Amino acid sequence: AMVQRLVAQPVPSSDPEPSWIGNSIFVGNKHHAADVAQLCRLGVTAVMNCAPSGIRGLPINDYRERSISYSFTNVAQDAHTYPILHTSPEGAHSEHLEAADAFYQSVLSSGGKAMFFCVAGQNRSAALAVAVQLLHGTSLEEVLQICHRTRPFMLENVGFQRQLIELETAQSGQVHPASSMKLARPKPLLATSSGPFSARSEVVVELLVPGLRAFNVAVKAESTIEELRATLTARVNEH
């Protein structure tokens, strides 16, 4: 899978400074956010705190003195089920993504550089920093190629990975993966040479997930929409 190949690598023993991931964006942790001298050296003009409920003692006054703008959005959880970008692939953007994009647009309009950060600089800030670039036309693979070189241990959260893939699919105007599947028509099986035909109890579904892979999934032939969605989601979550 493309995402796992480029990021979600083992966490290093040290993380001395924020990582440049392209398009005027750094990703860092809470310690980087507290090092105002380092931020100034890197040319950071704005910081986005993606986990304010888990971070205390930020140098807000020092930010003001150095003309570094401060914004936040409280991504409350780092769980794979948390809707950091959207509640459903077809749904509206989350408040976190809306806040992150407004912040990023402000940075771009001023010609500055942004740092997205959370406690570890691994999942919450990384997901939003990548997502805003997708909204501005950069492909997921292009962003992750840079991350692979500069911060390969980010985005180990498989739920956030999946939401990024879904966001790129929505941005490109493609049909969502769950709708781009090919159903194999069930063929009747001859029970005996003279007996009746009986329908197959299962059919094979080819589920195409852009940026991840294609899956062959066996589903009940008479599944409801809810049952089908649950089966396909469970299969993707295994990866």
Backbone angles phi, psi at 95, to 5 degrees: -65, -30
Report how far residue 187's alpha carbon sits from residue 220's, in angstroms, rounded to the nearest whole number. 14
pLDDT at 2 over 80: yes
More confident of the two residues 173 and 57: 57
Structure-model confidence comparison of residues 57 and 113, the more confident one: 113
What confidence tier does 199 reach under pLDDT thresholds 50, 70, 90?
A: very low
Q: Which domains does the chain have, with CATH numbers?
A: 2-171 (3.90.190.10), 177-237 (no CATH)
Q: What is the pLDDT of residue 232?
A: 74
CA distance 160 to 163: 5
Q: Name the pTM for this structure.
A: 0.73
Decide: 141 and 147 in contact? Cβ < 8 Å: no
CA pair distance 42, 217, nearest whole angstrom:
48
For residue 192, the model assigns a pLDDT of 36
Tokens of 162: 């999946």
Helix (H) or strand (E) holding 64: helix 60-65
Residue 97 has what pLDDT? 98
pLDDT value of residue 224: 75
pLDDT at residue 202 greater than cutoff 60: yes
Which tops the pLDDT comparison, 183 or 32?
32
- CB of 69 closer than 8 Å to CB of 60: no
Q: What's the order of all strands across the beta sheet hosting 25-28? A: 19-22, 25-28, 114-117, 46-49, 69-72
Q: What's the average model confidence in pLDDT over 9-18?
A: 95
pLDDT of residue 222: 73
Check residue 229 and give its pLDDT: 74
Reported confidence tier of residue 204, pLDDT bands at 50, 70, 90: low
How high is the pLDDT of residue 172? 83
Could you give phi then psi for residue 67, rounded to 5 degrees?
60, 40
What does the pLDDT read at residue 233?
A: 75
Asked if 160 and 7 count as a contact pair (C-beta separation under 8 A), the reply is: no
Percentage of the chain exceeding pLDDT 70: 80
**Per-residue confidence (pLDDT) for residue 211, from 0 to 100:** 42
Q: Which of 98-112, 149-163, 175-189 has the least mean pLDDT?
A: 175-189
**Residue 81: pLDDT above 50?**
yes
Distance CA 20, CA 148 (A): 11
